[in-house]
Amino acid sequence: MNDLTIELRQDDEKHLYEQIYEHIKQEIRKGKLLTGEKLPSTRSLAEFLAVSRNTVEMAYGQLLSEGYIESRPYKGYFVCEIDDIFALEGERGKNAKVAPWNVRVKKEAEEPGFLLDFSPHAIDMTAFPFSTWKKITKNILVDANSEMFASGSPKGDRKLREIISLYLYSSRGVNCMPEQIIVGAGNDYLLMLLEKILGRHVKIAMENPTYKRAYRIFDSFAYQISPVELDVSGMSVEALKKSGADVAYVMPSHQYPTGIIMPIGRRMELLKWAEEKEERYLIEDDDDSEFRFKGKPVPSLQASDWAGKVIYIGTFSKAIAPAIRISYMVLPIPLLETYEKKCSFYSTTVSRIDQRILGEFIEKGHFERHLNKMRKIYREKHDLLLNELKDMEEIFQVSGEGAGLHILLDDKKGRKEKELLEVAAAAGVKAYGLSEAYIGEAVPGRKENMVILGYAALSKEQIYEGAQMLKKVWK
């Protein structure tokens, strides 16, 4: 714990979680925290620093999202291997020192810093209702009894599952009972739990391109993965049939990264495919579903499932904060018995206090108000970015707009993704390539000249500035 003796300043302009995040980040960059070194648990560090556990979780969440640390199920948080050369503070030029042996030193030049980062994964935390969350936390801890500190139900507390059930029905049309819901610390845990439920040697089909993190998790199992190409409506059912897969992982409400919203016709085709065999299931990842800026909200795929074939997964990470680390999985009735036999002995991975805080945040209307506020903020950013890119309509075809937290630009000149990203980086702007989301190299219809721009974490001023910089180098 000595390595994490942090002097927190209440009078500092930065929030406490930011001070913790900055300290740990610098300790890693300086090599004082070594690759593979285990960090204190959020609970123990919170007690040591005399702050709320949520404050530490937010700091860890930011470090996780930036790749400084990783979370290992049932083991804790560990320092990641950093591929860059980091000079010690205050030392430059011939006297500069690099981090010790735990950092893999590169001969190449250090990656240039970016003035602006159009990350499609980051979110805006400036509008988070910290005072409300803190007040709920304080009240719960004041009223806490010994029962709240017990391990609780493996599925998550009944009260929270009832609240999630009502929320999902009203917002996404999901039909489920609280008994069908399993609460877990992030989608990673739920997908790992799903491996125990579905079995080890499942053949799974994934959209291509897809959410690469889910692919890596499935790949770590004994699963055989079949990438399935997309058409204008989403996953091709014909290609799915040819794959011989038992399970299909899809993102029908807003596919990442293409932004395709699956029409009802294709959804019914997928459900029909799943109904043809008893062992077939669809995993619906409903990420980004809360943020739709045109038309009415699109119901979930699970809302049209009357045969019990859809496994529905969602999270509060983007709607509230990454550090919340509370996700949920809705199991169809046929899989509940399997869960009880194979997984009911696993302890819940979310503390009961955090569950109680989130439950009250939703039940008392704070979540709905926060969500409405964020929709307005993101809509304004979305519209601003599109408006600023109008000058490049003859150069780029825009897609993926109207929902989610990113857009795609397809270069009409035929310039390759790598060229576009390099000239943007030279101007200090970090953009992202679609190629990072592909499974494999030889992909039919693979797009080679598309870039991704996320806007959620940037201020309006930064979006405007970034757009001007990109117009200069991409025209």
The answer on 16 and 94 residing in a single domain is yes
Q: Does the pLDDT at position 217 exceed 60?
A: yes
Q: Would you say residue 289 lies in a domain?
A: yes
Q: Would you say residue 279 lies in a domain?
A: yes
Integer Cα distance of 52 and 384 in angstroms: 37
Q: Which of 320, 349, 365 is the last residue of a domain?
A: 365
Q: Which one is predicted more confidently, 14 or 279?
A: 279
Give me the phi and psi of 352, to 5 degrees please.
Answer: -65, -30
Residue 206 pLDDT level (bands cut at 50, 70, 90): very high
Residue 305 is part of which domain span?
Answer: 151-365
Q: 298: phi > 0 → left, psi -120 to 50 → alpha, else beta; which?
A: beta
Residue carrying structure tokens 């990420």: 287
- The mean predicted confidence, pLDDT, of the chain is 86
pLDDT for 76: 87
Integer Cα distance of 57 and 223 in angstroms: 32
pLDDT for 2: 43
Residue 34 pLDDT level (bands cut at 50, 70, 90): confident
The answer on 439 and 408 residing in a single domain is yes
The tokens for 429 are 């702007």
The tokens for 118 are 């159009």
CATH of the domain at 380: 3.90.1150.10
The tokens for 16 are 């406490």
pLDDT for 215: 92
Residue 13 pLDDT level (bands cut at 50, 70, 90): low
The answer on 213 and 173 residing in a single domain is yes
- Range list of β-strands (E), 286-368: 310-315, 327-330
Torsion of CA 21, 257, 305, 282, to 10 degrees: -80
Give me the phi and psi of 176, to 5 degrees please.
Answer: -160, 160
Q: Which of 365, 384, 403 is the last residue of a domain?
A: 365
> Residue 423: which of 112, 109, 209 has the closest Cα?
112
Residue carrying structure tokens 């046929």: 334
The answer on 59 and 78 residing in a single domain is yes
The answer on 374 and 329 residing in a single domain is no
pLDDT for 75: 83
The answer on 336 and 375 residing in a single domain is no
Integer Cα distance of 67 and 277 in angstroms: 41
Residue-by-residue DSSP string for 442-472? --TT--SSEEEEE-TTS-HHHHHHHHHHHHH
The SS3 assignment for 294 reads: coil
Integer Cα distance of 44 and 355 in angstroms: 19
Q: Would you say residue 129 lies in a domain?
A: no
Burial call 94-123: b when 16+ CB within 10 Å, e when fewer: eeeeebeebbeeeeeeeeeebebbbbbbbb
Dihedral sign of CA atoms 193, 197, 203, 207 in order: negative
Question: Edge-to-edge strands of the sheet including 224-231?
Answer: 181-184, 327-330, 310-315, 281-285, 247-250, 203-208, 224-231, 234-235
- Total tally of structural domains belonging to the chain: 3
pLDDT for 6: 83
What does the pLDDT look like over 114-164, one tens digit per residue? 889 999 999 999 999 999 999 999 999 887 777 777 778 999 999 999 999
Residue 348 pLDDT level (bands cut at 50, 70, 90): confident
Long-range CB pairs of 130-136, under 8 A, 24+ apart, other chains included: 130/15, 132/361, 132/366, 133/54, 133/357, 133/361, 134/52, 134/54, 136/357, 136/360, 136/361, 136/364, 136/366
Beta bridge partners of 403: 292
Q: Would you say residue 283 lies in a domain?
A: yes
Mean pLDDT value of segment 281-307 = 87
pLDDT for 112: 52
Cβ contact 182:331 at 8 Å: yes
Q: Would you say residue 139 lies in a domain?
A: no
pLDDT for 284: 97
Mean pLDDT value of segment 443-461 = 89
Whole-Å CA distances, 138 to 144, 229, 354: 10, 49, 12
pLDDT for 99: 37
The pTM assigned to this predicted structure is: 0.75
The answer on 387 and 359 residing in a single domain is no
Q: Does the pLDDT at position 199 exceed 60?
A: yes
The answer on 305 and 418 residing in a single domain is no
Q: Which of 365, 387, 419 is the last residue of a domain?
A: 365
- Per DSSP bridges, beta strands 450-454 and 432-433 are antiparallel
Q: Would you say residue 131 lies in a domain?
A: no
Q: Would you say residue 125 lies in a domain?
A: no
What does the pLDDT look like over 87-109, one tens digit per residue? 333 333 434 333 343 333 333 33
The answer on 469 and 406 residing in a single domain is yes
Q: Count Cα neighbours of 26 within 13 Å in the Cβ-side half-sphere.
A: 12
pLDDT for 268: 95
> Residue 38: which of 65, 7, 12, 77 has the closest Cα?
77
> Residue 306: which of 182, 173, 113 has the closest Cα?
173
Three-state helix/strand/coil letters over 344-358:
CCCCCCCCHHHHHHH
pLDDT for 220: 86
The answer on 349 and 200 residing in a single domain is yes
Amino acid, single-letter form, for residue 176: C
Integer Cα distance of 385 and 382 in angstroms: 5
pLDDT for 91: 36
> Residue 335: which of 153, 180, 158 has the closest Cα?
180
Of the listed ranges 11-20, 69-78, 85-94, 169-178, the least confidently predicted one is 85-94
Is the peptide bond between 227 and the residue preceding it cis, with omega within 30 degrees of 0? Answer: no
Q: Does the pLDDT at position 237 exceed 60?
A: yes
Integer Cα distance of 439 and 44 in angstroms: 39
The answer on 399 and 336 residing in a single domain is no
The answer on 436 and 342 residing in a single domain is no
Say what percent of the chain tops pLDDT 70: 91
Q: Would you say residue 132 lies in a domain?
A: no
CATH of the domain at 66: 1.10.10.10
Mean pLDDT value of segment 243-269 = 93
Say which residues have a Cβ less than 8 Å from residue 267's Cβ, sequence separation at least 6: 252, 301, 304
Mean pLDDT value of segment 215-243 = 92
